[in-house]
Amino acid sequence: MANFTEFNKQAGQYALFRPSYPPELYHYLRGLCLVGEAAYDVGTGNGQCAVDLAKHFQKVYASDLSEEQIANALPHERVQYFVAPAHKSPLAAGSVDLVTVATAVHWFDFDLFYAEVKRLLKSEGLLAIWAYGWHECENPEITKIFNEIGQGLLAPFWSDPPKLIWQGYKTIPFPFQEIPSPSFKMTVEWTLAQLVGYLSTWSASQKFTDRYGYHPVRDSYEDLLKIWGDPEKKLKFTSPLHLRVGKKVS
């Protein structure tokens, strides 16, 4: 049996288990911008997106409401981090070419956030928001158990904001001149422990553990292990990327 106490301790290690976004996404966003002087990543968490943006922009600003996240964010010479709520930043009006939000906008106050985005963007500046959907494993039996946990066992523990991701962000307000975007997919390879670690980062998993005192994968672990075989073997998981991109309307 897995050491679920250890997994629970790892639940806060967001950066360790959350997958990276595809490089093609950043190439696409940079190509849409007239210039690549400055980008601003809101709700940056550990700075994963900010560091990738720094490969394409001369300067990247990145903020998060969590002081702990910012204190432990990935360092980069072109990234400036600061603690701030999504709707209020110290940046000057009309100072950035692109604002990004990676798997976080569903937690924001839309009206306040969008007003701040419009203040910050240059003329013709862009906002890009995205999140990834449910993962599918190359082994359909693993996918079935994954879905039984995420969409079945944990169903009562999901709050309303993450459910906006399941709808592909299509139902949220988006007061920008929307640009049709190509489809992107995320692909990761996980060991069994990495899969459990990823599930631990879900807010619903943490609520479940707080209520019942054990990890939501506990009762499914032996089934997963039987199907997986060698738990150190890596299996491929893919998920769609729900992306919306819009231009500032003057």
The domains of the chain, with CATH numbers, are 4-247 (3.40.50.150)
Do strands 38-42 and 59-64 pair parallel, antiparallel, or not at all (unpaired)? parallel
For the segment 133-142, the average pLDDT, to the nearest whole number, is: 96
pLDDT for residue 155 is more than 80: yes
pLDDT for residue 8 is more than 90: no
pLDDT for residue 195 is more than 60: yes
pLDDT for residue 130 is more than 90: yes
For the segment 16-36, the average pLDDT, to the nearest whole number, is: 89
Q: pLDDT tens, 226-244?
A: 999 999 999 999 999 999 9
What is the sign, positive or negative, of the torsion defined by CA atoms of 48, 80, 129, 178?
negative
Residues 6+ apart with CB under 8 A from 119: 93, 94
Q: Which residues of 175-193 are buried (b: 16+ CB within 10 A; e: fewer)?
A: ebeeeebeebebebebebb
Residues 6+ apart with CB under 8 A from 106: 131, 161, 162, 164, 165, 169, 172
Q: Are 194 and 17 in contact (CB under 8 A)?
A: yes
Q: Where are the alpha helices (DSSP H) in 103-191?
A: 110-120, 140-147, 160-166
Helix 192-200 and helix 221-228: axis angle, to 10°? 150
